[in-house]
Amino acid sequence: MGGLGVSNSRMLNLALMAKWVWKIFCEVRFWQDRWLGADSLRVQFPKLFSIARDVEVSIKDAWDDRALLFRRSLGPLDIPQWEKLEAALSGLSLSHDPDQIRWRLESSEEFSTSSLYNLLMAGPSVCFLEYIWGMKVPLKIKLASPA
């Protein structure tokens, strides 16, 4: 708070915009996020990723709807990666519970604008904001970022 008890509007705006990023971030993406092994599937299967129709598809949609669609048919060079991916997925059983990403600034582990605002106001030691604003998010959110 400023001297007159007025919030720092820039920091409050950052915290409010981060709420939208958090909502998007809470759905784990099949290709982009690390959920199967040490690296994302984008890194593990670069040939398949390069021809994937929807590189932002969630695990839920890819699994439930079999939405692993490609822009072209798999060629001979793609087949080894496809077989490796199928083998990695074959032993998995996914629950229908929603994905959970925890916010460590709250004891409830739920995101709150106020906890992020308080962190931002604590000082310039916040290096993760560059990561947040570098994320792939809808244009209407990205345009409002302070980059």
Domain ranges of the chain: 7-73+82-88+110-147
Q: Are 45 and 65 in contact (CB under 8 A)?
A: no
pLDDT band with cut points at 50, 70 and 90 for residue 142: very low
Residue 89's pLDDT is 87
pLDDT at 26 over 70: no
CB count within 10 Å of CB 132 equals: 17
14's tokens: 């950052």
Q: Is residue 57 within 8 Å of residue 64, measured between CB atoms? A: no
Q: Residue 69 and residue 56: Cα distance in Å, rounded?
A: 12
Closest by CA to 75, choosing from 47, 42, 45, 43, is 47
**83 DSSP 8-state letter:** H
Tell me if residue 109 falls in helix, strand or coil. Answer: coil
More confidently predicted of 96 and 146: 96
- Predicted TM-score (pTM) of this structure: 0.55
Q: pLDDT at residue 46 above 90?
A: yes
In the chain, % of residues over pLDDT 90: 22
Q: Worst-scoring range by mean pLDDT, 27-36, 74-83, 116-125, 137-146?
A: 137-146
pLDDT for res 129:
56
Yes or no: say if 70 and 47 are a contact pair by the CB < 8 Å rule. Answer: no
Mean pLDDT of 14-29: 70
User: Would you tell me the crossing angle of helices 113-122 and 9-25 to the nearest 10 degrees?
Assistant: 130
What pLDDT is stored for residue 20 in this prediction?
A: 67
